[in-house]
Structure 1
């Protein structure tokens, strides 16, 4: 009742999983990952111990295939299990027990493993693999693109309910205190993949740093627009004179703090274009 992709981005040292299921809070069961070690998806009649045990085995030096063999050989219920593993290096592996309900199976590539059970057909994992290979950019975007392609190709035969995205990298978590670079879950939603894409967009806005090409100087036209928006939010009470003065800057600082935009805040006359777009959409009644 689940399909997933585990993958790595060797260039940026990232490992991740994306998963969707007709199951409540799939993110609490399927995805497991540790920076520098590997990523694991344990599903079907899931044995959740495969996650932590599998990461320990990978860390000890076993390959993905050897880890699958070790886990399943010691599990009396292995026929009902499905698992995908990618290590920090080496060939990924996927396993589907003979007791998993049709359609069930998986595919592997150089840096990924796709797997699913109770699917409409093989097209789901095939679309995921093809899309991951063809998509460029960040690992999180490639994972979600693959997940969306799997759903478009048929997905879980019972429908949709929850989805999750986990990406780890060394010191990638909040303020660098752990490796959880992205850890997002949609526990119960009629369109969980689309909702996960929306939440990822917010995650990037709130926590990703500004890229140089996204930084705009605040000229008179932008200053007036910012003043108009901040007037509507109650943060600015001055005149709409189009000068980015101290009062306007302070109002913008208050707004940025309230909306969790500190990572893209500048203490001079600049603005991130993604922040500007967020302000415009919110002023127009968007989310």
Structure 2
């Protein structure tokens, strides 16, 4: 039902997730990011609470990703139904796929990234994602989306994909990128890519508005945020 990639940019320290699903509004339940802490994708019969729980454990400074994931999963009696991936602010990674994960499932760790999915057309779908992330240059969003396109080119899910999301944090406490396609009958990943292309030229302006309104550009739109 879902495939995703969590990753860290070694140049900027940004942390992010790209994810898609056959279910509606995957971005509302599955991707969790926290600036300076990490990124967590919780999927497959999703327990959204696992995202904040793992991030809280990482933020405490007492747990690496593997230990944080083990602790969070150990507190739930239904952990074998979950699939979770983690990358922290140092680029360390961890992942878990329970034995009750749906259909064909797989997870692969790469350099400061993890790709995972379930109900897949085949394990090769996930194996295509990590090289795409590692070999793509540019912004973290571009690299995450390249991995998603590679997954679709390799066959994607066993059924149709209907929703997709992209979430990235940088130096501020709120997401610098938080884009979602909650439902589409056709190519939600392509639509998400289009949203990113439209948002990218304005991304820095919105950060400037928040941090120093006197330096922010105006778009001349009444009521503009």
Could you say whether these structures have the same fold, taking a TM-score greater than 0.5 normalized by the shorter chain as the test? yes
Q: Contact 1:95–1:105 (CA<8 Å) still a contact in 2?
A: no
Uncovered stretches (5+) of structure 2, i.e. residues with no partner? 206-216
After TM superposition, give the deviation of residue 10 of structure 1 in Å: 2.8
Residue 228 (structure 1) aligns with: none
Residue 83 (structure 1) aligns with: 84
**CA distance 1:207–1:90, change in 2 (3 Å):** closer
Residue 243 (structure 1) aligns with: none
Q: Deviations over 1:23-75 (max 9, x none)?
A: 10000011000010000000001111101111100111211111111111111
**CA distance 1:2–1:80, change in 2 (3 Å):** same
Matched length: 212
Q: Does the residue aligned with 2:111 lie in a helix, a strand or coil? A: coil
TM score, norm. by length of structure 1: 0.70
Residue 182 (structure 2) aligns with: 187
TM score, norm. by length of structure 2: 0.89
Q: Contact 1:79–1:97 (CA<8 Å) still a contact in 2?
A: yes
Residue 58 (structure 2) aligns with: 58
Runs of 4+ aligned residues of structure 1 deviating over 3 Å after TM superposition are: 258-262
2 CA distance for matches of 1:88 and 1:69? 18
2 CA distance for matches of 1:90 and 1:199? 27
Q: Deviations over 1:204-263 (max 9, x none)?
A: 123346xxxxxxxxxxxxxxxxxxxxxxxxxxxxxxxxxxxxxxxxxxx99x5349999x
Residue 216 (structure 1) aligns with: none
The 5 A counterparts of 1:1-287 are 1-61=1-61, 62-171=63-172, 178-189=173-184, 190-208=186-204, 256-258=219-221
Q: Choose between structure 1 and 2: higher helix proportion.
A: 1
Aligned Cα RMSD in Å?
Answer: 2.0
After TM superposition, give the deviation of residue 133 of structure 1 in Å: 0.9
Uncovered stretches (5+) of structure 1, i.e. residues with no partner? 172-177, 210-252, 263-287
Q: Which of the pair has the greater relative contact order for Cα pairs under 8 Å at 6+ separation?
A: 2
2 CA distance for matches of 1:258 and 1:95? 47
